[in-house]
Structure 1
Amino acid sequence: MNIMVILKNVKRTDNIIECDYFPENGTSFGHVALDINKQDFVESKCIMANEDVNTRFYYNHVASKLMKISKTDDFKNNNFKSEYMVAWY
Structure 2
Amino acid sequence: MADEFIKGFTLFTLGGLGWLTFGGWYRTPSYYDIVQLVNPAEGVNTAYGEIGLIAGDASFWLMILGALTFWVFIPLSRQLRDMLDEDAETAN
Structure 2 length as normaliser, TM-score? 0.29
**Larger % of helix: which?**
2
Larger relative contact order (CA 8 Å, sep ≥ 6): 2
Structure 1 length as normaliser, TM-score? 0.30
Larger radius of gyration: 2
